Structure 1
Amino acid sequence: MEIKLKYGIDNLLFGMKEQDVIKILGKPDSSYKDEDENVVYVYNSRKLRLTFYKEEDFRLGYMTTSNPIVKLFNTSLISKNWSEVYPILEKNKVKYFESDTIEGILSYFNEENWLFFHLDYNEIIKIELGAVFKEKEDDFDWKF
């Protein structure tokens, strides 16, 4: 599973509809609506959660994974120390991160790529990525 910044993961692209994702991954193990009435698909064996935004005609807008095979810049990320991963990100021009700690979980956020890394005990445990906005606009830059 390769993260493609601003695009998605593998052949899952931001902007896909539910039926497009089902054609690729099959039916989810479970699904639910979040507090904003967005539809969330859960794929247990892939350790992948996909969110379809209600206000965007249920387009795929957000992905969350803790899958140990997920890669970015050809590097596995889950269970790696931040000190191992950050130099790779920086080398690939992903280097401005805000950080926050909630209940012992340290999170790093890169707004340009709408990319989150969540760490526990200094190891990456979860990655989130979202669709980005078009430059100087309030519309999403859908890739599908």
Structure 2
Amino acid sequence: MKIKPLIGIDNIILGSSKEIIYNLLGQPDSTNSDEWPDGTISEAWLYTSAGLTLNFDSDDHYRLSTINSNSKDTTLDDLKIIGMDINTVIKNHPDIIVDEDLSEDVKDYLYPEKEISFWVVKNIIEHITIFPEYDNSTNLPIWPVTQ
């Protein structure tokens, strides 16, 4: 599964409607919903065999807001990054920074210009999250599609 920064992964495009994702991937294996303190709702669709979690957020009108992958087939610039040492990825992408240092063993890294987050345990990438680009003045997503 090829990461397309700021766009999606393979043919799964950020900003897509739930209907488009359903037509593309079918019924999710499971779904769950979280309500945040500010009243927004995040609905997650889990495609377990594909190693994907797709999030649709109410403040984004339930468009595909983030893509999370833990699939060993996830690639960034032809590197299979899940299970890889984060330091190897940083050698190829020196702009990756520590976003949150949660413990000695757990860190969240960020590739700011590509809006990719890397969840790392004991220096090994466990999963990634792909975000859309955001408008700096409005803090609203700039969708790669207009569905």
What TM-score comes out, normalization by structure 2 length?
0.87
Distance in structure 1 (CA, Å) of the matches to 2:127 and 2:19:
26
Identity, % of aligned positions:
23
- Aligned partner of residue 21 in structure 2, secondary structure: helix
Partner of 1:6: 6
Aligned length: 140
In the alignment, residue 20 of structure 1 is paired with which amino acid? I
- Per-residue deviation, residues 79-112 of structure 1 (Å, max 9, x unmatched): 111121112223xxxx142332224312111333
Task: Verify: 1:115 aligned to 2:116, yes or no.
Answer: yes
In the alignment, residue 55 of structure 1 is paired with which amino acid? D
- Which shows bigger deviation, 123-132 or 105-114? 105-114
Partner of 1:131: 132
Task: Verify: 1:19 aligned to 2:19, yes or no.
Answer: yes
CA contact (8 A) 2:74 2:80 kept: yes
2:72 corresponds to which of 54, 68, 71: 68
In the alignment, residue 21 of structure 1 is paired with which amino acid? I
Segments of structure 1 that go 5 or more residues without pairing to the other structure are none
Distance in structure 1 (CA, Å) of the matches to 2:63 and 2:99:
28
Distance in structure 2 (CA, Å) of the matches to 1:46 and 1:112:
26
Segments of structure 2 that go 5 or more residues without pairing to the other structure are none
Structure 1 vs Structure 2 CA RMSD: 1.5
With over 3 angstroms needed to count, the CA separation of the structure-2 counterparts of 1:126 and 1:19, relative to structure 1, is same
In the alignment, residue 119 of structure 1 is paired with which amino acid? V
Distance in structure 1 (CA, Å) of the matches to 2:35 and 2:118:
23
Task: Verify: 1:46 aligned to 2:47, yes or no.
Answer: no
What TM-score comes out, normalization by structure 1 length?
0.89
